[in-house]
Structure formats: C-alpha cells, structure tokens
Structure 1
Amino acid sequence: MADHMRPLLPQTDHEFVPHEDLMPLISNNKFWSLDDIIEDNIGDFSWAQLVQCLLVSLARLFDGQQTFITIFTDAEPSWHCSTTSNDVTCTTNSDICQLSNSEWAWDGSSSRTIVSEWNLQCASSIITSLPSSSFFLGSFLGCLFLATLADTSLGRKKLLFLSCLIMSFSALATIFSTNVWIYAILKFLSGFGRASIGTCVLLLLTEKVGKKWRGQLGIMGFFFFSLGY
C-alpha cells in the first residue's frame, strides 16, 4: 500500500538550473513568450514594417473595388422618352418593356451598364442578378478551397499573390465579355480569387509588428477596403 502512495517524481532540495541552451530564453527567471522572441528579433514597430504593411494592405483596396463594383455595373440606368410624334404613348411612368425602341432612349451611353449594353431591361431578376450572385458564390467556394492551401503548401504570402492574380485577370477579362453568361463566369472567377485576400492580409499585418501594435495595424486592411469602395 505504501508503494501506491509514493510520488511519481522524487522530492529534491536542489534548485532548478536550466540548460545552457535555454538561457537566452530566460530573463529575470521568466521564460520568454513567443511574442517576446519575435519582438526581440524584428522589433516592436519601425518604418520598414509600416511600409510593408501599407503594401500588403493595397490588396484590400482592389478587393473592395471588385466587391462593390456590381452596384454600378449591374444597375439599370435611367432613360427618357424620345418620340416626337403627336400620338405620344411614352411617359415617365410607362413600362419600358411595353414601348418600342424608337420611343425611348437611355440617358448617356448605352454601354454604361450590362443592362443597357446587352438589353437586359426586360429580363428576369434572376438573369440581371446572376453576375453578382456568381461573384459571391465564387467567394464562398474560394474560402473553402484556398484556405487549405494557405495552411499546407503555399503559405499566406504566396496565396495572397495568387489570389490577387486570379482576381485581377478575371476582372480585366470582363471587358471582353460578349454576353451576360460569359460575364457571370468571369465574375465567379473574380470572387473565387478574392476569397482569401482578407484573411491573408489580416494575418500578414499582425505578424509584421509586436503585440502592442497589432490592433492598430489590423484595421489598416479594413481602411483600405473602404477606400476601394
């Protein structure tokens, strides 16, 4: 019975002396935390770190542009009556789908939005909202797929570059879209690419500085996102 009451570790009166390899990690008899080690090597905050944070945050500016650009590109522009005949059937309250093409015209250029460029004014709401829906569907699927790449093979920095590349090229390719279906596919790719930009930027920003400045630098990405809008 006495053997069961014996402590697992023998009692000793000797003072604990850390191994010489651990001495650099001990200050004032306290072990350094990971934050202390990082700040000791890269510093708490400097101008070089600020410049790096600004460059990383630029990705959020273009992310904001692609997120909110559909408000303008997919909107239905205003129109006016253009008939000059005495038998006027066009009024400001008329249904545009019930008028002939000679009785009305768009205000400004006919290529201002996808609605006026591809004559979608009488299309269903499913068709007109398809590009924006495709964009956010791509964002959802991109979050599921790209998040694993950041933690396994690519890392945050390479994934941020890849995401910006996919988003930028697909966004530029929308210029050459000939119909709403191609446009929706490209918007899907753009949303897929930008899915991981927010998390990558936030983590890269907070890793660049000491814990004292993480809150201030962490909101920098959200500030640039607002500027993009």
Structure 2
Amino acid sequence: MDDMLEKYCGEFGLWQLRHLVLSSLAWLLQGIHTSVMIFADREPAWHCLMSHAGYTTPRCPTTAGSMCDLEPSSWEWSSGKGSSTMSEFGLICGDKFKVGLVQSIFFAGCMIGAGVFGHLSDSKLGRKGSLAMVCILNTIFGILTAFSSDYSTYVMFRFLTGLSAGGTGIIAFVIGTEPVGQSWRGVAGMSPFYFYSTGIAVVSAIGYFIQPWRSLYIASSIPSVIFVIFLLPFLHESPRWYLVRGKVDEAMKIMQKIAVSNGKPNIPDGIVLALDSEVNEDVPNAQSDTKEAVKGTILDVLRSPITRIRFFLGVAVNFFSSAVYYGLSLNAVNLGTNLYLNVALNAVAEMPAYLLSAFVLDRLGRKPVAIGTMWFSGVFCLAGSLVKSTNEAWKVVRMVCGLLGIFGIAGTFSILYVYLMELFPTVVRNAALGCATQAVQLGAISAPIVVVLGGGAPFAVFGACGIAGGFLVTYLPETLNKPLYDTMDGLQEAEAK
C-alpha cells in the first residue's frame, strides 16, 4: 500500500485532503458531545429571596458563599430550575458528587464503545459502516438526553451517548489516515485534533447563547444530523481494510480513484496491491476478489512479544495523558473565572500545540516529542498546584498554568494517535487502538473524581500523571519513517531483520 501510494497514486493529494477533512469532521462532533456536559451540568447563579414583596430585605445573608448553609425557602436559582441539570435535579450540597458521577459514567460508556466499535471496524462492518453507526447513535441519544425526566434517565442516556461517542474519534482517525502515504502520515494524523478543539469552541458558543440544558442538548445534536445526512455519503471505505479483508478488487478501485483525483496516470496493468506478508509470494491477478481475509484480534496483539509490550505501555501512557487532558478541561469549573471564556480559551490553546507538534513530529520523531509535551504539561500542572487563588490576580495565574498544561497535553494527545497507529499492523490496528482508547476513557472516568477535590489538589495529581506518562514513553520504539505494516507476520519479519 505505501509503495503504491508513493509510486502511482500520490501520498497526499486532493483525494486524501478531501477524505481527511470529511472524516475529521466527525471529531468536531465528538468534541461537542464530550464537552456539552460542562455547560449542561454547571452550577448556575442563585440569589436570596426578599422577605416580603415590595421590600428589599433579603431572607438570607448577602455574603453567603453557598446555598447549602441556607434555608431552602430563602434563595432561588436566578435563571430558573431548568437552566442546568444541577438545578433541575437538585445536584447540590450532599448530592453534588452526582455531577461528577454522571460525567464519569459518560466516559465509562466511551470506554466500552471504543472497544466494541474498534473491533467492529476491523471486522465485517468496516471503517465507514462503523462510523455511520456511531454518528447515527450519537444523534439519537443526544436528542433523547434532552427529554430525561429524572436524574436516573439522564445518567442512562449520557452512558448510551458515551457508548457511541467512544468509537467516533478512533474510527474517524483510522479511516482518514490509512490512505495517506508514509511521508505525510504524521502531519495528516495531527489534523483531526483541530476539529476536536473547534467542536469544544463551538459548544462553548452554543452554551453561551442557549443556556437551558434541554435546549442545549438538542442544539448540540444538530451538527451530527447534518454530518450523517449530507457529508457521510461522500466518505470512502479504507482501501487498507479492503486489502486485509481479501477484497483486492475494491481496494484497487479506490487506489485508481486516488490516482485520478491526484492528477496521476492510471495505475499500469499488472500492478496490484499485496499484503506486506506476501511481498515474496506470487500475487493473484488484480481483478481477483477471492483472496482469503487476513484476520486478527486483540489476542493476537497479546500473544506477540513485540506488540504485547507496545500495547501495555500504550495503554498506560494513554491513561495518564487522558487524566491530565480531561481533568484540566473539567477543572475549569474550579478556577473562579468565566466558565464559557475559560473553556473556549482551553480549546484555542490546543490548536497551536497541534501545529507545533505537527511541525516537529517528522523532524524530531514521535518518541522525543511525546516525552517533551507530557513533561511540559506536568511541570505547569505542578506549578498550578502551588498557586493559592486568594485573589483575582492569582486566579488568573492558576488559569494560565492550566492553559499551558492543556497546551502541552493536547500535543501529546495528538501525537499518541499517530504514534500508536504506527505501532500496530492494519489487521489489528483498530482493535489495539480501541483498547488504548478505552484506557483514555478510564483516565477520563478518573478525572471528574479528582476535579471535585478542588483547590490545588487536581493540579498536583495531573502534574504527577504527566511526569509518569512521559517516563513510560521512553520504553516505546521510534516509528518515524517506518512503514505502516498490514499483518502481524509482516511486522514480525521486519523486526526480525
């Protein structure tokens, strides 16, 4: 596949650009579905009631910092009970932990969905079929969440949304980058994360103008409807998936389309795709579609000493990076600054990190950049834990530490997708990445629990995670300028040499 892209089709031309943009738009949807809960579950403003109509004497002290110390009849929500789930379902005081609980349950759904849909996209359903399924489910469950009658129903629909959202990013990433040639894969692999950050910024704007939580969930589901109806039909299946499934004819048709769209001559007769394990074998005629599918599961990853150590290290690094990334995002509620502005700034801070990482990724290599970005984030998180937010100035300093922490860990996040993709062959790539993504969701599940600690504790925990994750990356091999293997045999033969 890599040879054909380089010699006959073009490693990154108009076809790959269009395909990458279409697939990456699914990341925008994931950013929306993941971040909408920051605003739907926020603590809205409240005020004291007056003692009698026409009088200005409040029923409660105007200096009261929390409604938990007041009589329930002495205060009310400024925007009404329907402004957030916290106000409507009474998730305050002793029940405030339920806010973090529903967020953790959402990420638990993501963890399960990443494994399930990662496996389905490697099997008969394919990359495009799996992406269509998760996007449709995101739309359905996102809208149904708006009609939750109580907290338990809300938790159920958030879990189901997480189940479908968990597979969205990884499937979109693989289908978008698999048709890209080796020399462009690093840069192309970073681009979906711009769309994810854009999704966070979009939902910040939506949340600012549409604050009632039920309306917010409906509005945030509309982009998914647009994607499924108007954009998804123009997305192609991955030719690599066709190849490992034994469908050489379909794979060659895609390769011909890539060549034509990129302004290349037609692929010469007699040139046919082959798996990397078949390079020394006689290859059947290009029009043959009877080759046996090459299959692989996560068990194959665990059986091989080469991929086993990569798998466990990848899982651990993903867990630590996820805890930092989602933790810093959710910790915006503890900073005492404008929530909408802070979340939007976090999203903006991620974008230069992606640009810088993409610039150095093919120059310095995957490994040193991943280590450097994790340690950069860890250092600023530890600095944030030492800042006492006793006044507005120190609150701003802590917010800046958080922004720099987000800057570093966002770079790590984008690098890890490219890095781990290159560590595993096509036949087990989505299964392995699906499990690694489950580790991401496990870290995300832990993040809300840490955030509720408040103060400097979350920053200290996230700083330790960043330092530990960078240390583990030192044990992974470098993949810069290495081919993207198709089969376990191809990888093992290459490592043996």
**What TM-score, normalized by structure 2, do the two folds share?**
0.37
Residue 146 of structure 1: which of 117, 128, 131 is its match? Answer: 117
Shift of residue 211, structure 1, vs aligned partner: 1.8
After superposition, the C-alpha distances for 1:142-177 in whole angstroms (9 at most, x for unaligned) are 122222212222111111111111122111111111
CA distance in 2, matches of 1:188, 1:163: 14
Shift of residue 123, structure 1, vs aligned partner: 4.6
CA distance in 2, matches of 1:36, 1:168: 39
CA distance in 2, matches of 1:161, 1:92: 52
| Correspondence 1:46-85 to 2 at 5 A | 46-85=13-52
CA contact (8 A) 2:48 2:60 kept: no
Report the 3-state secondary structure (helix = DSSP H, G, I; strand = E; otherwise coil) of the residue aligned with 2:76.
strand
CA contact (8 A) 2:48 2:58 kept: no
Gaps of 5+ in 2: 201-497
After superposition, the C-alpha distances for 1:6-65 in whole angstroms (9 at most, x for unaligned) are xxxxxxxxxxxxxxxxxxxxxxxxxxxx31113444322222321221111110001011
Name the CA shift for 1:77/1:44 in 2 (closer, same or farther; >3 Å): same
**What TM-score, normalized by structure 1, do the two folds share?**
0.77
Shift of residue 198, structure 1, vs aligned partner: 1.9
Report the 3-state secondary structure (helix = DSSP H, G, I; strand = E; otherwise coil) of the residue aligned with 1:105.
strand
| Correspondence 1:85-104 to 2 at 5 A | 85=52, 86=57, 88-93=59-64, 95-104=66-75
Letter in 2 for 1:96: M
| Correspondence 1:105-120 to 2 at 5 A | 105-120=76-91
1:44 maps to 11
CA distance in 2, matches of 1:36, 1:144: 31
Q: Does 1:157 align with 2:125?
A: no
CA contact (8 A) 1:83 1:102 kept: no
2:2 maps to 35
Letter in 1 for 2:30: D
1:208 maps to 179
1:121 maps to 92
Letter in 2 for 1:53: L
Letter in 2 for 1:46: G
Report the 3-state secondary structure (helix = DSSP H, G, I; strand = E; otherwise coil) of the residue aligned with 2:178.
helix
Letter in 2 for 1:135: F
Identity rate, percent: 34
Letter in 1 for 2:150: N
CA distance in 2, matches of 1:125, 1:99: 16
Q: Does 1:180 align with 2:147?
A: no
CA distance in 2, matches of 1:107, 1:220: 41
Shift of residue 136, structure 1, vs aligned partner: 0.7
CA distance in 2, matches of 1:215, 1:163: 26
CA distance in 2, matches of 1:91, 1:53: 54
CA distance in 2, matches of 1:126, 1:210: 47
* Aligned positions, number: 196
Letter in 1 for 2:12: F
Shift of residue 70, structure 1, vs aligned partner: 1.4
Letter in 2 for 1:90: P
Greater helix content? 2
Name the CA shift for 1:146/1:98 in 2 (closer, same or farther; >3 Å): same
Letter in 1 for 2:46: W
CA distance in 2, matches of 1:165, 1:40: 38
CA distance in 2, matches of 1:157, 1:79: 47
| Correspondence 1:1-40 to 2 at 5 A | 34-40=1-7
CA distance in 1, matches of 2:93, 2:24: 41
Shift of residue 94, structure 1, vs aligned partner: 5.6
Letter in 2 for 1:134: I
Name the CA shift for 1:103/1:59 in 2 (closer, same or farther; >3 Å): same
Report the 3-state secondary structure (helix = DSSP H, G, I; strand = E; otherwise coil) of the residue aligned with 1:92.
coil
Shift of residue 100, structure 1, vs aligned partner: 4.0
Gaps of 5+ in 1: 1-33
Tell me which moved more, 56-65 or 207-216: 207-216
Tell me which moved more, 128-137 or 52-61: 128-137
Report the 3-state secondary structure (helix = DSSP H, G, I; strand = E; otherwise coil) of the residue aligned with 1:208.
coil
Shift of residue 188, structure 1, vs aligned partner: 0.5
Q: RCO greater where, 1 or 2, for CA within 8 Å and sep 6 or more?
A: 1
1:16 maps to none
- Name the larger-Rg structure: 1
Shift of residue 199, structure 1, vs aligned partner: 1.6
CA distance in 2, matches of 1:37, 1:87: 76
